Amino acid sequence: MSLVADTSRPVDAVTAAGKAHTDSAAAFVPDKSRAERTASFDVADFPVPRGREEEWRFTPVKKLRGLLEPGATGRLEWDTFLPEGVTVSTIPSSEARELGALPPQDRAAVVAADVEKVTLVDIPAEAELTEPVRIRLIGDDATQPIHEHIVVRAGHHCRATVLFAHRGSAQYAQLVSVLTGDASDITVVASQRWEDDAIHLAQHDALVGRDATYRHISLTLGGKIVRLNANVRYAGPGGDATLLGVYFADAGQHLEHRSFVDHNTPHCKSHVTYKGALQGASAHTVWIGDALIRAEAEGTDTYELNRNLILTDGARADSVPNLEIETGEIVGAGHASATGRFDDLQLFYLQSRGIPEDEAKRLVVRGFFADVIKQIPMADLRAEATAAIEHELATTAYAAAATSDSTTPEHTSKEN
């Protein structure tokens, strides 16, 4: 299912249904199940994508050029704040695999993992960090490809927040492997506030320990192309994973978020919520939410939701939830996706209380993101996220374009 709220653009699915292209149909056979998708550390297992592949069909692959070729030599500048007890070291990639890092699931991740040295962030068992681990990754060159594999190992019963703050200009393929110990409580925040020329392809995996709580929060505001895949598997029963995302795409930006929750273990939970706003010509966002409940994952409770708010004409949001269920012995499974414009009734209500149209729109957008933003654990990052969204809104031309526009909102939505 593809949700497109821009009527001026053709919808791929419609074209394909109306007039079958035998050449592409013969060349491409989609996986029957997400479980069949290749996962490997061997670069040869992933051909360079051409754009027709299921996992790449929304991504502007032609613009990725050298980033998908192995052997990149560039480096980002690391600026770290490490609370007491937390260490950062370098380990050989063979050791990263022995630690249990999950294998890459696409070409970008496999080249990111195809490096000799892996950075290991180690959080000791039973550590209760009162300050987050802050890692600023700063680029200064958008022409030099960079490949990087980072492992975050959190010991049993520890509690920590790890922030990856991405800044500057870069062409960056990244694999982050989070290994959470039993009964740990780990939050990973990935903030993408790149410059306009940056390309960032990321796979953030978590292997969630027994009875562990894991949160992954994406905040994607900057960059030319950002594609962040947040994946979860469970190392034992009782795991609880929450994947959250906030994104705001301007003209010319492609911001893509994918998640795959692999319920491979009984009695685990997952909750996925991504919310995005779009404005400006050719602003494009993609959300693909895959959840697989395997036959052995009895007692699973999962829900995924994506909401997109289209602020101006010419923007496009694709939203595809996929839920596969192989056992009926579950607590719950559901998904919802909706993409729409401003709700005229909401705006009328606010305006009828004296609030000017611009301010009413800002209030609605702020409110739209509020439930996700408030789950960001650091006050300074919440404030930063709110301020950044305000800044995006301040540059919006919708106020001028939409004044006295009283057409009914277009909604392309589906609830399941």
Partner 1 sequence: MSTLEIKGLTVSVHTEDGPKEILRGVDLTVSSGETHAIMGPNGSGKSTLAYSIAGHPKYTVTGGTVTLDGEDVLAMKVDQRARAGLFLAMQYPVEVPGVTVSNFLRTAKTAIDGQAPKLRTWVKDVKQAMANLRIDPEFADRNVNEGFSGGEKKRHEILQLQLLKPKVAILDETDSGLDIDALRIVADGVNQAKDETNVGVLLITHYTRILRYIKPDFVHVFVDGRIVEEGGKELADRLEDEGYDRFLTAASA
Positions in 133-172 near partner 1 (CB under 8 A):
none
**CA 372 to each of CA 47, 129, 213, 274, 337: distance values in angstroms, whole numbers, following the listed order:** 36, 23, 17, 8, 16
Among 196, 349, 383, 410, binds partner 1 (CB under 8 A): 349
Nearest to 372 by CA among 389, 358, 360: 389
Interaction of residue 406 with partner 1, rule CB under 8 A: yes
Token pair in block for residue 17: 């249904």
Question: Quick check: 199 binds partner 1 (CB under 8 A)?
Answer: no
Q: Does 363 bind partner 1 (CB under 8 A)?
A: yes
User: How far apart are alpha carbons 269 and 256 in whole angstroms?
Assistant: 24
Stretch that binds partner 1, among 27-35, 257-265, 282-290, 339-347 (CB under 8 A): 339-347
Q: Which amino acid is at 186?
A: I
Residue among 392, 407, 399, 281 nearest 344 (CA)? 407
Question: Other C-beta atoms within 10 Å of 88: how many?
Answer: 14
Q: Which of 366, 375, 386, 409 binds partner 1 (CB under 8 A)?
A: 366
Do 256 and 285 contact (CB within 8 A), yes or no? yes
The 3-class SS string of 173-206 reads: EEEEEEEECCCCEEEEEEEEEECCCCEEEEEEEE
Which stretch, 168-176, 282-290, 353-361, 375-383, contacts partner 1 (CB under 8 A)? 353-361
Residue 390 Cβ, how far from partner 1 at the closest point, in Å? 14
- DSSP helix/strand/coil, 242: strand
Cα distance between residue 306 and residue 299, in whole Å: 24
User: Segment contacting partner 1 (CB under 8 A): 55-63, 276-284, 341-349, 381-389?
Assistant: 341-349
User: Which of 93, 327, 346, 386 contacts partner 1 by CB under 8 A?
Assistant: 346
Q: Can residue 42 be called a binding residue for partner 1 (CB under 8 A)?
A: no
Q: How far is the CB of 396 from partner 1 (least distance, A)?
A: 18
Q: How far is the CB of 133 from partner 1 (least distance, A)?
A: 29
Backbone angles phi, psi at 218, to 5 degrees: -100, 135
Q: Site for partner 1 (CB under 8 A): which residue of 16, 51, 348, 401?
A: 348
The yes or no reply on residue 368 touching partner 1 (CB under 8 A) is yes
Minimal distance in Å, beta carbon 389 to partner 1? 12
Q: Over the range 312-344, which residues count as b (16 or more CB within 10 Å of their CB) and which as e?
A: beebbbbbbbebebeeeebeebebbbbbbbbee
Nearer to partner 1, 49 or 409 (CB): 409
Among the candidate windows 66-74, 258-266, 298-306, 351-359, which touches partner 1 by CB under 8 A? 351-359
- Kindly tell me the burial class for residue 185, based on how many C-beta atoms sit within 10 Å of its own C-beta (0-12, 13-18, 19 or more): middle
Stretch that binds partner 1, among 41-49, 277-285, 327-335, 367-375 (CB under 8 A): 367-375
Q: Is 392 in the site for partner 1 (CB under 8 A)?
A: no
Which residue do the tokens 């939409």 mark? 402
Map residue 351 onto helix, strand or coil: helix
Instruction: Select 317 or 350, whichever has its Cβ closest to partner 1.
Output: 350
Going from the C-alpha of 123 to that of each of 128, 165, 186, 350, 371, the distances in angstroms are 9, 18, 10, 47, 29
Please report whether residue 394 would count as binding partner 1 according to CB under 8 A: no
387 interacts with partner 1 by CB under 8 A: no
Close Cβ partners of 400 (under 8 Å, ≥ 6 residues apart)? none
Question: Residue 351, interface with partner 1 (CB under 8 A)?
Answer: yes
Taking the complex as a whole, the smallest distance from the CB of residue 360 to partner 1 amounts, in Å, to: 8
- Closest to partner 1 by CB, 144 or 346: 346
- As measured in angstroms, the least distance from the Cβ of 365 to partner 1 is 9
User: Judged by CB under 8 A, which stretch of 126-134, 167-175, 280-288, 369-377 contacts partner 1?
Assistant: 369-377
> Contact between 383 and partner 1 (CB under 8 A)?
no
| Binding-site member from 357, 376, 392, 393 for partner 1 (CB under 8 A) | 357
Among 153, 369, 381, 396, binds partner 1 (CB under 8 A): 369
Of 18, 30, 332, 354, the residue at the interface with partner 1 (CB under 8 A) is 354
Task: Report which secondary-structure segment, H or E, holds 385.
Answer: helix 379-394
Q: Is 12 among the residues that bind partner 1 (CB under 8 A)?
A: no
Give contact residues for partner 1 (rule: CB under 8 A).
Answer: 343-346, 348-357, 359-360, 363-364, 366-371, 406
